């Protein structure tokens, strides 16, 4: 299937890594509420596995970027046969041709399921809906002003966590982050991801792929672990990745506790320890995202004072 020709006066060219500043600027101009930086795109390039599907084109008018379309392996829903589409344009009439290019490209890669992510208040939500895409999952993004966090309010939860026998440590204090440590962290994260409430099971990477993407943690002082008396790692909070478009903010990745250790205040204690460490490092805000069906973690975040923003929707279409 070949995409239809683009309107006259436009050129469509594949992007190179050197184009990342142009692409990030286009994305941010289209949606300032989801600002991207060249550093964000560079990081995704670095994490892309060999042979992984990735194609991106820029639409230019008079040499100026006015649209972009991308096809890639989903970072969250990396199931066999699933591909992620991203369509960004400053000119709404270009949405249809750019989506057609993306769908034709996905067909060449034998995609069976197409997904895309949009904010619930974006006009693209209706545009994708008209093309047959329906809501598959809903993620709540929320932000916490760490400077207003009332740590003392949660003294009972921290006391229960201490009474359970666990101790909390940043990864930077737990010895050399060699392959044995990486496997230990991977085993914990994989077990927790398989248990995350979501619309579809989270696709867990094999160890070597995870090691390539996440095995080199630049800020281990921001990744906190709950360690049982026998040395087992039983909980984690990942508050270590700076948000490049907002230097005062950290992105929270996974927070979780193994089932046998839940209900003991450990998730609260991990989040509070990571928040204290973030403040000591000079950060003032934390951002996180949770599946709408993950009620236990949403309740913890609400109690801590996280403020919800517009939901991010994953839209899906079978082909």
Distance of CA 301 to the CA centre of its chain: 17
CATH class, range 141-311: alpha beta
**Cβ(83)–Cβ(53) below 8 Å:** yes
Per-residue confidence (pLDDT) for residue 3, from 0 to 100 = 62
Distance of CA 111 to the CA centre of its chain: 22
* pLDDT for 5 beyond 90: no
For residue range 278-296, list pLDDT tens digits in order. 999 999 999 999 999 999 9
The domain segmentation of the chain, as residue ranges, is: 10-132, 141-311
Residue 86 burial (CB < 10 Å; 0-12/13-18/19+)?
Answer: middle
Per-residue confidence (pLDDT) for residue 166, from 0 to 100 = 98
- Stretch among 54-58, 62-66, 163-167 having the lowest mean pLDDT: 62-66
Residue with tokens 């142009």: 22
* pLDDT for 314 beyond 90: yes
Percentage of residues in the chain with pLDDT exceeding 70? 99
Residue 233 burial (CB < 10 Å; 0-12/13-18/19+)?
Answer: buried
Task: Check residue 110 and give left, alpha or beta (phi > 0: left; psi -120 to 50: alpha).
Answer: left
- Please tell me the distance from the alpha carbon of residue 22 to that of residue 27, in angstroms, as a whole number: 9
Output DSSP code: residue 152.
G
* pLDDT for 35 beyond 90: yes
**Cβ(269)–Cβ(277) below 8 Å:** no
Q: Is-above-0.75 flag for pTM?
A: yes
Query: Can you read off the two tokens belonging to residue 224?
Result: 């906190």
CATH of segment(s) 10-132: 3.40.630.30
Helices (H), 225-265: none
Helices (H), 194-265: 207-214
For residue range 97-106, list pLDDT tens digits in order. 999 999 999 9
Output DSSP code: residue 2.
P
For residue range 210-265, list pLDDT tens digits in order. 999 988 899 999 999 999 999 999 999 999 999 999 999 999 999 999 999 999 99
**Cβ(251)–Cβ(222) below 8 Å:** no
Name the β-bridge partners of 11: 60
Strand residue runs (E) in the chain = 10-14, 54-61, 64-72, 82-89, 113-119, 134-145, 167-170, 223-227, 233-243, 246-257, 285-291, 307-308, 312-318
Band of pLDDT at residue 2, cut at 50, 70 and 90: low
For residue range 114-157, list pLDDT tens digits in order. 999 999 999 999 999 999 999 999 999 999 999 999 999 999 99
75-92 mean pLDDT:
93
- Please tell me the distance from the alpha carbon of residue 143 to that of residue 301, in angstroms, as a whole number: 9
Query: In 10 A of CB 13, how many CB atoms?
Result: 12
User: What does DSSP say about strands 246-257 and 285-291: parallel, antiparallel, or unpaired?
Assistant: parallel
How many H-runs (helices) and E-runs (strands) does the chain carry?
9, 13
Per-residue confidence (pLDDT) for residue 1, from 0 to 100 = 55
For residue range 49-63, list pLDDT tens digits in order. 999 999 999 999 999
Band of pLDDT at residue 198, cut at 50, 70 and 90: confident
Residue among 83, 188, 197, 91 nearest 137 (CA) = 197
* pLDDT for 203 beyond 90: no
DSSP code string of 70-127:
EEE--SS---TTEEEEEEEESSGGGHHHHHHHHHHHHHHTT-SEEEEEEETTSTHHHH
């Amino acid at each position: 299937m070949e995409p239809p020709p683009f309107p006259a006066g436009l050129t469509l060219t594949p992007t190179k890594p050197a184009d990342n500043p142009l692409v990030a600027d286009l994305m941010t101009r289209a949606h300032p509420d989801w600002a991207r930086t060249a550093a964000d795109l560079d990081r995704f390039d670095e994490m892309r596995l060999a042979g992984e599907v990735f194609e991106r084109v820029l639409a230019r008018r008079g040499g100026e970027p006015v649209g972009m379309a991308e096809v890639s392996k989903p970072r969250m829903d990396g199931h066999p046969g699933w591909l992620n589409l991203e369509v960004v344009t400053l000119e709404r009439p270009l949405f249809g041709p750019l989506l057609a290019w993306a769908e034709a490209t996905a067909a060449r890669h034998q995609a069976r399921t197409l997904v895309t992510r949009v904010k619930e208040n974006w006009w693209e939500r209706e545009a994708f809906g008209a093309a047959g895409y329906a809501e598959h999952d809903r993620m709540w993004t929320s932000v916490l002003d760490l400077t207003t966090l009332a740590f003392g309010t949660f003294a009972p939860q921290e006391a229960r966590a201490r009474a359970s026998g666990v101790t909390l440590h940043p990864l930077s204090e737990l010895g050399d982050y060699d392959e044995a440590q990486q496997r230990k962290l991977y085993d914990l994260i994989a077990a927790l991801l398989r248990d995350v409430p979501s619309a579809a099971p989270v696709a867990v990477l094999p160890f070597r792929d995870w090691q390539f993407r996440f095995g080199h943690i630049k800020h281990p002082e921001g990744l906190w672990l709950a360690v049982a008396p026998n040395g087992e790692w039983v909980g984690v909070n990942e508050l270590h990745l700076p948000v490049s478009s907002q230097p005062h903010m950290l992105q929270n990745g996974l927070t979780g506790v193994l089932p046998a250790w839940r209900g003991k205040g450990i998730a609260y204690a991990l989040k509070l320890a990571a928040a204290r460490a973030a403040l000591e490092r000079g950060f003032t805000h934390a951002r996180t995202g949770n599946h709408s069906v993950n009620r236990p973690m949403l309740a913890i975040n609400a109690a801590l004072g996280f403020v919800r923003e517009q939901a991010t929707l994953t839209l899906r279409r079978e082909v």
